[in-house]
């Protein structure tokens, strides 16, 4: 029940912020902006299903806002039970990360320390590096969260939602999570390599590990009203 109340308050706050955004004035100089999420102040929820395990789902709530710092696109990530996991705030002009919020299992939210903020390459030669640091789930530890990404395929035809084909870009992702003990400086790391696919007019439509143990694919896009009904069940 607390999770539903928390999410409801979060939706209300962000909905208030998203009014009068000046959507038509939003511009981006990123060469792959057409493959990113559309700039729209009306929230849309992307529903991903793990086709390697049909019971596993993930939801991304996506919406645009404008404030004194400019135009942004916010991506909130939720687990299959409707619990918010994290939120990424993208500067729309550059598509770099300007804020990363993480939420633990007790619904404590923390704004992470951004060490590297690039997450979407601008061309086939560039490898971006995103890195943030936040408190670990074990006392006296911090987590270093890293994502390195590069283009491996671009301008390919890809089927979206089993309805139509769109131009898409395939990125190779190297993800590493390092738990650091702040007292003795000991580290433990887990790393994975995978791919993510962004389609024109949609943004992220598919992501998976190289061994396909986890393979999430966009199943549908729903409205905020439908989303509220879902998390209130």
Q: Rg of the chain over CA atoms, in angstroms?
A: 18
d(CA 107, CA 7): 10
In order along its 233 residues, the chain shows pLDDT tens digits of 444 444 554 554 444 444 444 445 789 999 999 999 999 999 999 999 999 887 789 999 999 999 888 999 999 999 988 899 999 999 999 999 999 999 987 888 999 999 999 999 999 999 999 999 999 888 889 999 999 999 999 999 999 997 789 999 999 999 999 999 999 989 999 999 999 999 999 999 999 998 888 999 999 999 999 998 888 87
CA distances from 80 to 47, 56, 148, 187, 215 (A): 10, 7, 26, 30, 14
- CATH architecture group of domain 2-231: Beta Barrel (2.40)
Instruction: Copy the structure tokens of residue 180.
Output: 């650091």
For the chain, what is the mean pLDDT?
88
What secondary structure letter does DSSP report for 198?
E
Q: Mention every residue, 6+ apart, whose C-beta is less than 8 A from residue 103.
A: 83, 84, 85, 86, 87, 109, 110
- Region of 82 please: left (phi>0), alpha (psi -120 to 50) or beta: left
pLDDT per position as a tens digit, 89-121: 999 999 999 999 999 878 889 999 999 999 999
CB 87 within 8 A of CB 59: no
Contacts of 9 (CB under 8 A, 6+ apart): none
Report the helix count and the strand count for the chain, using DSSP H and E. Answer: 2, 13
pTM: 0.87
Residues 6+ apart with CB under 8 A from 83: 3, 103, 105, 107
Q: Are 154 and 169 spatial neighbours (Cβ–Cβ below 8 Å)?
A: yes
């Amino acid at each position: 029940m607390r999770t539903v109340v928390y999410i409801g308050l979060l939706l209300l706050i962000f909905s208030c912020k998203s009014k009068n955004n000046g959507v038509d004035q939003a511009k981006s100089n990123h060469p792959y902006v057409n493959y990113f999420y559309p700039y729209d102040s009306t929230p849309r929820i992307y529903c991903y299903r793990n086709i390697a395990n049909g019971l596993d789902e993930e939801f991304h709530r996506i919406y645009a806002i404008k404030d004194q710092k400019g135009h942004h696109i916010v991506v909130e990530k939720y687990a299959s039970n409707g619990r918010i996991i994290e939120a990424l705030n993208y500067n729309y002009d550059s598509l770099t990360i300007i804020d990363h919020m993480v939420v633990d299992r007790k619904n404590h939210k923390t704004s992470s320390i951004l060490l590297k903020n690039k997450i979407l390459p601008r061309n086939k030669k560039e490898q971006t590096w995103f890195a943030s640091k936040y408190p670990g789930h074990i006392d006296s530890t911090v987590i270093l969260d890293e994502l390195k990404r590069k283009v491996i395929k671009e301008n390919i035809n890809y089927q979206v939602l089993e309805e139509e084909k769109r131009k898409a870009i395939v990125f190779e992702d190297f993800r590493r999570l390092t738990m650091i003990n702040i007292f003795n400086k000991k580290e433990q790391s887990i790393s994975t390599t995978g791919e993510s696919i962004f389609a024109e007019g949609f943004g992220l439509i598919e992501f998976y590990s190289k061994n396909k143990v986890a393979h999430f694919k966009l199943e549908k896009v729903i409205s905020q009203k439908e989303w509220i009904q879902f998390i209130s069940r």
